[in-house]
Amino acid sequence: MNKKLIVANWKMNPVTYKEAEELFRFVEKGMRDIKNAEVVLCPPFVYLPMLARLFSKQFCAGAQNCFYEQGGAYTGEVSPLMLKDIGCKYVIVGHSERRQYFFETSEIVNKKLKAVIEAELKPILCVGEDTRDSFDSKGHWTHELDPKVKEQLVLMLNGIPKSKIGEIVIAYEPVWAIGTGKPATGDDILSAKIFIQKVISDLYGRKVSQTMRVIYGGSTDSKNAAVVMKEGQADGLLVGGASLDGEEFVRMMKCIAL
């Protein structure tokens, strides 16, 4: 059985390194008996070099973002090669908050994706529609109503060779489910996964689409994680809010990956 991928996105939290290290140590201790998960913690950039030294094989460091050049005169930016150098393994690219607050387009995400792959890091590529309008009155996902996920995928994967596709983890993150307390249902997630696999299959062939990991993110917690994972056939979770509460996050991992 493939290990589940559990990604904690701390976003711009906590506000002191002391708190970050406490949370880190709590999670690290709590996950010692977790066997079936690869856990990726994505703290803010400033904590990464200190925390990256403490990670182990099953528990690794990820970044929440990066720039698309590896070095140069780009004030305030952090490059994939820098992340690689301090021991990061994964980078989240295309998170909806980057689109919303920092005006990232799919074309920019595409450049970031290429830079992450070039630096031999694993990208966690976020896709997702804005509203729940893409579901019909019976709650079935009507893909035709919202071509956004397809458009995002096609633009973001533009120019990525087939040989590199297996390294990408797709995070299905419907914007309407992020931080709202209203997660997508197992059915929603499964429909989305099948849809994403179809788009990948059309672009790269069926075999590639079947091996690609598709994880889910949006208002997951210890109460819904097991159901969401099982019914949605998700290969893992991208967790925001719940990953900031050490006890809750450890409970969540235990529900899905003991």
Give me the active site residues, please. 95, 173
Binding site for ligand PEP (CB under 6 A): 9, 173, 178-179, 217-220, 238-242
Q: The tokens of 223 are what?
A: 């109460």
Contacts 24+ apart (CB under 8 A), 70-74: 70/115, 70/118, 70/119
Residue in the shown chain whose Cβ atom is closest to ligand PEP: 240
Instruction: Give the burial class of 65: count Cβ atoms within 10 A of its Cβ; 0-12 exposed, 13-18 middle, 19 or more buried.
Output: buried
Choice between 159 and 181, CB closer to ligand PEP: 181
**Shortest approach of ligand PEP to residue 11 CB, angstroms?**
7
3-state class (DSSP) for residue 6: strand
Specify whether the CB–CB gap between 46 and 78 falls below 8 A.
Answer: no
Judged by beta carbon, residue 9 or residue 197, the one nearer ligand PEP is: 9
Q: Is the dihedral of CA 108, 168, 97, 132 positive or negative?
A: positive
Token pair for 194: 């099948």
Q: Pick the closest to residue 235 from 37, 52, 75 (CA basis).
A: 37
Cβ atoms 189, 172 nearer than 8 A = yes
- The nearest distance, CB 256 to ligand PEP, in angstroms, is 14
Q: Residue 108 or 177: which CB sits closer to ligand PEP?
A: 177
Which of residues 7 and 117 has its CB atom nearest to ligand PEP in the complex?
A: 7
**Minimum CB–partner distance for residue 242 and ligand PEP (Å):** 6
Nearest distance in Å: CB 6, ligand PEP: 12
